[in-house]
Structure 1
Amino acid sequence: MKNYQFLDPFQFKKNLVLKNKIVMSPMTTMASFYNGMITQDELEYYAARAGGPGMIITAVANVSEEGKGFEGELSVANDEMLPGLKQLATTIKKDGAKGILQIFHAGRKSNSKILRGTQPVSASPIAAIYPKDSEVPHELSETEIKKIILDFGQATKRAILAGFDGIELHGANTYLLQQFYSENSNQRSDSWGGSREKRMKFALEVLKEVNQTVEKYARPDFLIGYRISPEEIETPGIRLEDSLEFAKQIKGEIDYLHLSIGSYKRTSLNDSTNKVPILKQFAEKLNGEIPLIGVGSVELPHDAEDVLNSGADLVAIGRELLREPKWVEKVMADDEKSIRTSISPLDMNELKIPSVMQTYLNTAFNSVMHFTTDKTLVENYQNQVAPMEGFEKKI
């Protein structure tokens, strides 16, 4: 076995120890029940991938029913979800991986059909540019904002009770936490909008609530992570400078920062003169004060090593763990030649990919999966957004 640094253990400042530096990215399964309860298909999907990574981050779970973003979404919105969430945490942790529950509120990235007749909500009554049929959301009142902040706290408490090792706030991919920070979706004139400092307030209040919950109910090593999209491609919108400043402001409130980009080699999409990879810029801004998770088109061991050499502390792998559930085990067994970097649609049942997720991968994600039946040019997403980032594919 080669001496890869990503196979070394990693210890957080809170003393939680990972058996290696590989993280399974949060990936949408669309396989939960209609009410957000976990299904057996999902448990089998996670079980097939639980043996290798040091940490597994779940598909996102909504913190409140009106925060649901799509059908088949996991929920942590009420205590009825606890038995299933306990099963999920146990499944993920069965071979020594640490389990992180990703939580969110979709905000305007939902619609009245998914919400069973209820209008989606956001910072301001402005429809998203993508998808084209996005609905105008209801502008959240002060009371409603504070209720959602409390919902994040209650969701964190349920994650603790279910046996997870941490939570990750999904502040990326244009969901509600990002919507409040973006000039595109937040054009309020009260204390929750206007200046960059005021647009940051919602995320900071959510972090405050979550930290208080963790301090009250969790073990000392329970983690709080935050996922961030470095840029938006709309105008006005979040630019790289905004996100770097955001990271600087929240790093004292979190235990790690997780980027959301389609390629770890990505440079700025908005500033063609900025040739420094985004990953390196965030690493410099954090300056080793908290761990940084790099991600994006990591397929082979040299990619994972490159992510760490670029300044990240941990390496997240997503699509490649769909194609190759035993990725870490094969590297450890010096069996790299057998690692699959493409996937046959005929093998997805064998790979324990839920049937509804297979449909999703064959349609919305077809261009990023490296299907053996796909004869088109494979995109590397170094200079464009990937479908999972919440924007139009091409820019």
Structure 2
Amino acid sequence: MTAIEFIFIAVLFLSVYSYVVYPLFLGVLAKLFRRQWNKGDCSPAVTIIISAYNEEKDIEEKVKNSFLLDYPQDKLEIIVSSDGSDDRTNEIVTRIKDQRLILREFTGRLGKTACLNKVIPDAKGEIVVFTDANSMFAPDMLTHLVRNFYDPDIGAVSGWTKYCNPDSGEETTGLYAKLEKKTKLDESMVSSCVGADGAIFAIRKELYIPLGPNDINDFIIPLNVVKQRKRVILDENIFCIEETTRGIKNIYSRQVRITTRTAWAIRRNIDLLNVFKYGSFSFLLLSHKVLRLLTPFFLLSAFVLNMFILLKSPFYVVTLAGQFLFGLTGLLALLGFGSGSLVSICKYFLVTFAAQFVGCLRMTIGLEDIVWTPKR
């Protein structure tokens, strides 16, 4: 085997590692080195923070949904953190009369994390729950959530998002979201899950460290918890319900923003890759986030190298044909041709890889995202 062939095999392996090899290997690790945590009945004071920007369409339903949670009324506080909303969001919240509800109204666009830095110090709950205005909870969500904090080693708890069709109510959670959920469940059993679901996660207030203005809160907050030697876990009993994101353009824009902020977060927390200091979590972070963000670059390298070694073996003809087929199927799907699960998967991952490529480049040249407008 020549050097170029060896490099090709290596980058081809890395191209599928984060999405295929790592989840399979992690599943084995989760069974061999299962670190369960203790759950127990407890009722700590809880503050739910609803981050909002121009959410007049959803904010009333969200607040009322929070009131319906099966939890002691005297131990529940709900804060709407309104980041410069200039629609009817603040007016709607003000009209709702309930002593558990507080509106924190900020003028101008500060950014979600800057608002959290101002809101959390005044929160009365020892457990702080982060959520969005369009994310709805089941009545028993808090009961399941706080049971995890019975264990003193648990510093943060994430749930997951169940996506549903707004017209039929049918669940539409995609393959990528299901893969993320399974991966984080297994990571929780090995050490700590890498990141949380921004629509539904919670921490012990005492572990909150103020964020930088461009920090991605559902990634940095869990990383800060790990740095304080506490575990971050995902509980599959905790979920919220959201409408499916509509439109490839919205999905692409969201992925570019998330990738840019995640790449910055990894760059600023590169010390977490020190396996001698953070043990198995360093391996999880490298596999789940770092190598995943680099996947588009591995794919591009594999394609170029494949062209140079094409005639050396029929195997390389097959690998090149597979890459062409993936790309062509995804492009045709974007143009409206083809249907079925396989076609949808090719389309989604093509958009995801394009967004990751652009997001990583944006971080490399110094571009950052502090505020954005949610697409509903």
- Provide the TM-score with structure 2 as the length reference: 0.33
Higher normalized helix content (fraction of residues): 2
Q: More relative contact order in 1 or in 2 (CA 8 Å, sep 6+)? A: 2
Larger Rg: 2
